[in-house]
Structure formats: C-alpha cells, structure tokens
Amino acid sequence: MGETFHNWKVLTIPVDLFLRKNCSNDHDMPELPSLLADQLRRVLPPGHGPAATAEPMPPAPGAYVLLIELAEPLAVALPGRPEAVLAPGWYAYCGSARGPGGLRARLARHLAADKRRRWHVDRLTMVARRRLAIAFADETTECALAARLAASGRFGHPIPGFGSSDCRTCPSHLLEWQGAPDRSDAPTDL
C-alpha cells in the first residue's frame, strides 16, 4: 500500500485528482473507506496526501487534516471538562504547523504512535489503528478546514473545545465522520 503514495515526494496535485488517478477502488486504498474518501474529495481544497508518513509532506508552514481511525471506544477527559467517550470509527483533526520544520515536522510527530502526550489529539493518535495526513502548504487555516468538514453535514463535533482551546470561532477542531448517509427517511416504494 505504501508504494501508492510515494508520488507525493515530487507531485503537488489536488487530493481528488490523486485519489481518482491512484486509488480506483478500496483495494488500492485500504486505509480509507470509499465513502470517506469521496467525502474528502468533495469537501477539501487541493493538498498533499493522504499519506501515512510525513516524509512526502512539505517542510513549509500550513494546515493539515489528520485522519484517525479508532478501533475501540476511547474515554477522553480534557482539563475542566466532563469525560467523553469516542466511539470506534474515523475522526478528522484539523491543525496547523507554523513553527520550525513546518508541516513535515508536525506531521511526523502526529503520525508517530510512540511519543509523550502533549496536545489533545495525542490521546487519539497514540492508540489509533490508522493515522493518515493531508497537508495544505498555503494560507488555508485549520478553522477553514474544520468549517468545510462540518458544513458537509457528514462530520460532527464529538467533544466541544477539543484541539481548539485557543480558537474563539470553532466548536472543536476534532470532527467525527458520520459514515454513510442515513437512508431511513428516503422514499420507499409501496
């Protein structure tokens, strides 16, 4: 699977074009369910990735979306807030990397499982089944990415304030993928 993403070392193309060109079906891209990949194609701006390592990411400042799969329920207690339990499934964490090493350095840390807990999202990445990243080396902000995902109607905010303690506009920078659209309200033939 890792071979598919090596092109990112030399290419900077829209995520949707990359996914269509290199990942024609779930066998080509087992990391993401096809419905999630389709949703990301429609919602996110052009970026680098998705990738399971930070190596192909630019060392420039920018924003990113971490895609995190939890295999088991995870209890999360943030300082001053009640404990919440995250269900198994896919989560998107929107962040930024403006310091030394830029996106490559920040994503190398986030994609590693073995590390000291420093940020809210470390609670998820340290136990995740899978971690992938999509990077945006431009003026895109983590708030804009979180807003795009939330506006799609397919992502919800499972824990208010998660990863956004310094943000005054976003309910959270962690979003939970809601999966396939609910068809219970679809018309049925009688």
Which residues have C-beta within 8 Å of that of residue 99, sequence separation ≥ 6?
Answer: 61, 105, 106
The pLDDT of residue 144 is above 90: yes
The pLDDT of residue 11 is above 50: no
Q: How many CB atoms lie within 10 A of CB 79?
A: 7
- Residue 188 forms part of a structural domain: no
How much of the chain, in percent, has pLDDT values that exceed 70? 78
- Residue 87 forms part of a structural domain: yes
- Residue 143 forms part of a structural domain: yes
- Residue 168 forms part of a structural domain: yes
- Residue 190 forms part of a structural domain: no
Between 27-41, 66-80, 147-161, the lowest mean confidence (pLDDT) is in 27-41
The pLDDT of residue 184 is above 80: no
**Looking at the 3D structure of the chain, how many domains does it have?**
1
How much of the chain, in percent, has pLDDT values that exceed 90? 41
Residues 134 and 64 sit within 8 Å (Cβ to Cβ): yes
Between 4-8, 38-42, 65-69, 87-91, the lowest mean confidence (pLDDT) is in 4-8
Angle among Cα 168, 89, 57 to the nearest 5 degrees reads 65
- Residue 185 forms part of a structural domain: no
Give the pLDDT confidence of 27-57 residue by residue, as tens digits: 334 467 888 888 888 898 888 878 888 888 8
Task: Work out the mean pLDDT of the chain and round it to a whole number.
Answer: 78
- Residue 187 forms part of a structural domain: no
- By the 10 Å C-beta count (0-12 exposed, 13-18 middle, 19+ buried), 13 is classed as middle
Full domain range(s) for residue 116: 2-177
Q: Report the distance separating Cα 167 and Cα 84, nearest Å.
A: 20
- Residue 186 forms part of a structural domain: no
* Pairing relationship of beta strands 48-51 and 84-86 according to DSSP bridges: unpaired
* Residue environment code for 50-73, b if the CB has 16+ CB neighbours within 10 A, otherwise e: bbbbbebbbebbbbbbbbbbbeee
